Amino acid sequence: MPTPIILDCDPGHDDVFALWLAAGNPEIDLRGVTTVSGNGYLEHTTHNARVALTVAGVHDVPVAAGASGPLKRTLTPASWIHGENALGGPELPEPTVPLDPRSAVELMADLLEASPEPVTLVPTGPLTNVATFLEQKPHLREKVREIIWMGGSTGRGNVGAYPEFNAWVDPEAADLVVRSGLPVTMVGLNISHQALITEPVVERIAAVGNRTGAFGVELLRFFCSTYDAVESMPEGPLHDPITVAIAIDRAVATVQRCHVDVETQGEFTAGATCVDLHDMLGREPNVDVALTLDVDRFWQLVTDAVAQLD
């Protein structure tokens, strides 16, 4: 049976590939897409999610918009990586995928209530929507199978010294989720920086030969150009699809169960994920932390999914 998921995202170049992997792989039943502000303002991330599904020819998945900002802080979009519209590079076609009138939380609630089995939440942006859902719909926690989140890091961050962007945008939301008691898998920068967009990877996506692949190559080229300019990483890391790859095949990544805290008070460290890899403090583990990626398997999953789309 395919795994039912809701993908909560902030497209974002790598979020688009997470959407495509979820839509194109037969092991995943993409029940719904919700959008959150992060890489861009909500209007952009929502528009971009609809564009990504339009390009791929996916018209049977509801898309609902969520939080326009973090729980307590002010949003700073990652325009330095994703561009002013959060999907720099290609010319964006007008989306034909409609915007669902429900809010992200309402769509999540409706989908979980309607599902005979628990549903996996796959957030690939700040955790504002997921945290709000857990707070507002506590009776539906039992319908959450697990949460597989791209965010955090076991090491250095990408916004300042320690915080990773998704956790940095909304540390309070990330803190709520890691404390939720629900099964949480953290896909941090430590593993996402193993998913590097090399020239052979770009060539594999280009060789698919469809509209989705061609659009994807333009996204990858832009994403790598900004990573090169900002982080001196000409082979940018395609962070977000790793979450969906894990939902497809747990063997694609190794994980270690650890105690994780999210810093919410630090002047310089707010959003840092404090991963007790060596159990120094002897506290109850609360997160499965992804550590190593089967890189070949990952790119094969991504390429095969793109080939299943328009």
Closest CB 103 distance from ligand RIB, rounded Å? 20
Nearest of 164, 149, 206, 179 to residue 18 by alpha carbon:
149
Alpha carbon of residue 305 to chain centroid: 17
- Could you say whether residue 8 binds Ca ion (CB under 5 A)? no
Q: Are the C-beta atoms of residues 179 and 132 closer than 8 Å to each other?
A: no
Distance CA 109, CA 218 (A): 35
Minimum CB distance to Ca ion, residue 148 (Å): 13
Let me know if 255 is exposed, middle or buried by CB neighbors in 10 A (0-12, 13-18, 19+). Answer: middle
112 vs 158 by CB, closer to ligand RIB: 158
Q: Decide: is 188 part of the binding site for Ca ion (CB under 5 A).
A: no
13 is annotated as an active-site residue: no
Q: With binding defined as CB under 5 A, does residue 12 bind Ca ion?
A: yes
In the list Ca ion, ligand RIB, none, the entry touching 158 (Cβ below 5 to 8 angstroms by class) is ligand RIB
Q: How far is the CB of 179 from ligand RIB (least distance, A)?
A: 21
Q: Rule CB under 5 A: is residue 124 a binding residue for Ca ion?
A: yes
Verify binding: residue 125, Ca ion, rule CB under 5 A.
yes
Angle between helices 13-24 and 241-248 in degrees, nearest 10: 20
301: left (phi over 0), alpha (psi -120 to 50) or beta: alpha
Query: Taking Cα atoms as reference points, which of 12, 82, 14, 91 lies closest to residue 48?
Result: 12
Of the residues 47, 193, 239, 259, only one is catalytic, namely 239
String marking each residue 38-77 x if it binds Ca ion according to CB under 5 A:
----------------------------------------
Residues in contact with ligand RIB by the rule CB under 6 A: 10, 12, 14-15, 38-39, 78, 124-125, 150, 158, 164-166, 239-240
Cβ closer to ligand RIB: 90 or 118? Answer: 90
Q: Taking the complex as a whole, how short is the minimal distance between the CB of residue 165 and Ca ion, in angstroms?
A: 8
Copy the structure tokens of residue 167.
């956790």
Dist CA 235 CA 88 (whole Å)? 17
10 three-state secondary structure:
coil
Site for Ca ion in 231-260 (CB under 5 A): 240
**Catalytic residue IDs:** 239
